Chain A
Amino acid sequence: MLNYAFKRILTIIPTLFAIVTLTFFLMRIAPGGPFDEERPLAPAVLENIQASYGLDKPLIEQYFIYIGNLLQGDMGPSFVYRDKRVHEVLAEGLPISITLGSTALLMALIIGVLLGSIAALNQNKKTDVFIVTFATFGITTPNYVIAPILTLIFALTFSILPATGWGSPSQMVLPVISLALPQIAIVTRLMRGSMLEALKSDHIRTARAYGLPMTHVVGKHAMRSALLPVLSYLGPAAAALMTGSIVIEQIFNLPGIGRYFVTSALNRDYTMVMGTVIIVATLVLVFNLIVDLLYTVLDPRVRYD
């Protein structure tokens, strides 16, 4: 197990390197550059700007310069925020996205697992139908619908919560709920399904046949194997949640980093694209490692040889 963990940590570096390299060249194939906007620049000016960012050098040279800087912890200048380096921009927003994302993740995990288990234990009863209905609406209703509706109710009609901004705890309530709701719904659905499976498996049936108390059977045995698919889903989902959501950030005007995942690509803000890719790749690799290790904790039969 320790051996496996060590081996996996070692693979993170080459994987990251492959991702960085692939992205670097992939994004440069796309048409348009960071300075193509509604109002075009005069050709002479465009040349000046491109030269000042080193964009006039051969691509392969730009790549080695970038890697060189990256190894020294410098992600390069941002094209969209010229006064800052990319890592400075990301460092400003990342704590906010992580705060929001981890709160939502925790909510999704606790509420989703609870609701999913309750639904499974009451399969086809009223409670189950109610929970499934809730989950279905949660999945069909995208963020960009839920979030404005919550704002209309709590900020504009009752005036008990702020509509936008970041800084006070009250400003976290609506964004966290909007971010968590679809995730709660997904976890509920997954949990219900896997719990139903788990309850049918041989060892649970045996345990129940021996007359062990239901709470013990569910809590100790069924829960463990039922959590596996939820965890598999949550590995990458956690990475996505921690890196913020452009929709939630725009609707509540939050200074997180989720926006950069879309805008940097649309603006051809090359260095920022690289920055976001490095962050998301690191998180994906780390979370998936944690999930894989958790498998063996939850189900000791799972082994990596």
Chain B
Amino acid sequence: MRLSYFITFLSVFSFWYATANANIFYRGNDGDPETLDHHGTSTTSEARLMDDLYSGLVDFSENAKVIPGTAERWDISKDGLIYTFYLRDDAFWSNGDPVTAHDFVFAYRRLMNPLTAAKYATLLYPIKNAEKVNIGELDLLELGIRALDDKTFIIELEQATPYFLEQLTHQTGKPLHQKSVEALGDQFVKPGNLVTNGAYVLQSYTLNSRIVMTKNDYFYDAENVAIEELHYIPFEDRSTCVRAWEAGEVHICSDLPAQDLERLKIYKDSLRIVPYLGTYYYALNTTDEFLSDPEIRRAMSMVIDREFLSEEIWPGMIPAQSLVPLGINNYPLGSPNTDYFNMSMLDREDEAIAIMARKGISKDRPVTVELMYNSGENHKNTATAIADMWSEIGIKITYKIRDAAAHYAYLRDLGEVQVARAGWIGDYSDPYNFLFLLESDNTGFNYARYNNPEYDALMDRASNELDLNKRAEILQKAEKTIMKATPFLPIFYYSSFTLVSPEIENWKSNVMNKNPTRFLSFRTSG
């Protein structure tokens, strides 16, 4: 009796409960953006917002392929150095102003201006003089871009870069409305001030609550944009997003907790697990006395049963056999084969034990190695399982656990690290974006402190090679070198995990994990 009173009481409450409006698309996101100024953004959750707000020279299609955006076509010079973009006549800003080549010139100069302090300026370093401008050695006007007229925009590159168009899909390549940015200063990002040229326009932004956008009627393809109103809802805790999705409060969850995947299979087609352009790896410090021996590093990689990890420890992740993930562009031959992945787990273990035995190390005479990882996600379970596998070959693991900031600061400053967890998600779909991590002069990223002149030479050769097939061959050779030397020990290829409401149509899961809202629609009943 009492319980039923209680429930009645609560039901009265629920009258006030704003029911989800049927015409609004509630899109869960991984968090709030650091800023709505795209020059300050860096994360994938920010990229989603920018893809809806802005249209670059080129954009992503519903399948995350490069398609014409604000530029309807372009010419590339024979030597691959000059790109000429012809802008659409019907490209307008959300206030009705036409989008001109000058807006792009303004945006690109601002991106490279050291005072802007753009986090991802490096991404457009292939542009001529970009790096020197960005570090303040050259004047902004020296940047290799110009507007030939209102609708023609020219980019000159430092050297031929076959993946340059892919790079332009990144939010750093998007334009800015020169007039409003100049007039309003850092206030230009506020709702009501922000002028955009994409499918949507910003209406309001409540911190940690929601970002509201409505359809931009001036967008050149507005007639094909089905969803009128869009609310981005930030979730810091992925389990919370899952509960909100199950309660019908959001249509999309952009990431899912590993422990829920098994249970979420009851939602069948709504659960999307697809390969994602990223690799989860352990970096082995090649300057460490013990780990400097490539044979030991190889044995450590050999003995890891990646199938077990991806079946039992982190379901949905894909066992990795290379640094460059599957499904990447400009890599027709794919990653090279590494011999031991063809061997049975037992043979691998035997060989690893034999290698270690030659160094005088065995299960009974183990060596202690420190493994550092950042707390969060499934890193702990993975580390625990790998430590168990390593114990078989005489490597005893002690842990150094850090919060993310301390972890990455340690890696960046090259502190005393032996084995460290890390991951890399591709900024654009090209193997170079993964292999450059191990270049010896790449101080910020080369956590293994790997230094191999031969490898560096291969990477240089690849950068100067215009023929995509020949380039792929060189890159494959480079990857083979590092798979043999094993400075990085790839464990998983990432997967993207998404929950998509059955009410939403045309959500095409893809390796870039990009799904611009302009291509989505509500399923019409009947």
Main secondary structure of the interface of B (DSSP, over half): mixed
Instruction: Please determine whether B10 and A160 come into contact, CB atoms closer than 8 angstroms.
Output: yes
Q: If A164-B247, A171-B17 touch, does A81 touch B207 (CB 8 Å cutoff)?
A: yes
Q: Bound complex: CA of A267 vs CA of B50, how far in Å?
A: 23
Q: Could you say which residues of chain B place their CB within 8 Å of the CB of A32?
A: 405-406, 408-410
Q: Could you say which residues of chain B place their CB within 8 Å of the CB of A36?
A: 404-406, 408-409, 412
The 0/1 profile, CB within 8 Å of B marked 1, for residues 142-165 of chain A is: 000000100110111011111111
Instruction: Please determine whether A173 and B409 come into contact, CB atoms closer than 8 angstroms.
Output: no
Instruction: Please determine whether A52 and B209 come into contact, CB atoms closer than 8 angstroms.
Output: no
Asked whether any CB of chain A lies closer than 8 Å to the CB of B105, the reply is: no
From 212 to 262 in chain A, residues with beta carbon under 8 angstroms from any chain B beta carbon are: 249-256, 259
Instruction: Please determine whether A37 and B247 come into contact, CB atoms closer than 8 angstroms.
Output: no
Say how far B137's CB is from chain A's closest CB, in angstroms.
Answer: 10
Asked whether any CB of chain A lies closer than 8 Å to the CB of B200, the reply is: no
Instruction: Please determine whether A161 and B235 come into contact, CB atoms closer than 8 angstroms.
Output: no
Q: Classify chain B: how many residues form its interface, as a range.
A: 35 or more
Q: Could you say which residues of chain B place their CB within 8 Å of the CB of A51?
A: 114, 117
Instruction: Please determine whether A166 and B209 come into contact, CB atoms closer than 8 angstroms.
Output: yes
Number of A-B contacts (CB under 8 A): 172
Q: Could you say which residues of chain B place their CB within 8 Å of the CB of A148?
A: 239, 243
Residue from the list A151, A158, A254 in contact with B243, Cβ < 8 A: A151
Asked whether any CB of chain B lies closer than 8 Å to the CB of A14, the reply is: no
Asked whether any CB of chain B lies closer than 8 Å to the CB of A41, the reply is: yes
Q: If A44-B135, A48-B115 touch, does A155 touch B243 (CB 8 Å cutoff)?
A: yes
Q: Could you say which residues of chain A place their CB within 8 Å of the CB of B425?
A: 39
From 42 to 59 in chain A, residues with beta carbon under 8 angstroms from any chain B beta carbon are: 42-45, 47-49, 51-52
Asked whether any CB of chain A lies closer than 8 Å to the CB of B317, the reply is: no
Q: If A37-B42, A48-B115 touch, does A89 touch B207 (CB 8 Å cutoff)?
A: yes
Residue from the list B17, B206, B208, B413 in contact with A162, Cβ < 8 A: B17
Q: If A44-B134, A169-B16, A259-B236 touch, does A163 touch B117 (CB 8 Å cutoff)?
A: no
From 227 to 250 in chain B, residues with beta carbon under 8 angstroms from any chain A beta carbon are: 233-237, 239-240, 243-244, 246-247, 249
**A residues near B, CB below 8 A?**
30-45, 47-49, 51-52, 80-84, 89, 92-93, 148, 151-152, 154-156, 158-171, 173, 249-256, 259, 266-268
Q: 6 tightest CB-CB pairs across the interface, nearest first?
A: A32-B409, A255-B208, A32-B405, A82-B35, A163-B247, A49-B117
Would you list 30 pairs from A and B whose C-beta atoms are within 8 A, ordered by A residue?
Answer: A32-B406, A36-B409, A43-B443, A44-B135, A45-B119, A47-B135, A48-B115, A48-B117, A48-B118, A49-B117, A51-B114, A81-B35, A83-B36, A83-B37, A83-B186, A148-B243, A155-B247, A158-B7, A159-B247, A160-B10, A164-B243, A164-B247, A168-B17, A173-B13, A251-B237, A251-B240, A253-B236, A255-B206, A255-B208, A266-B403
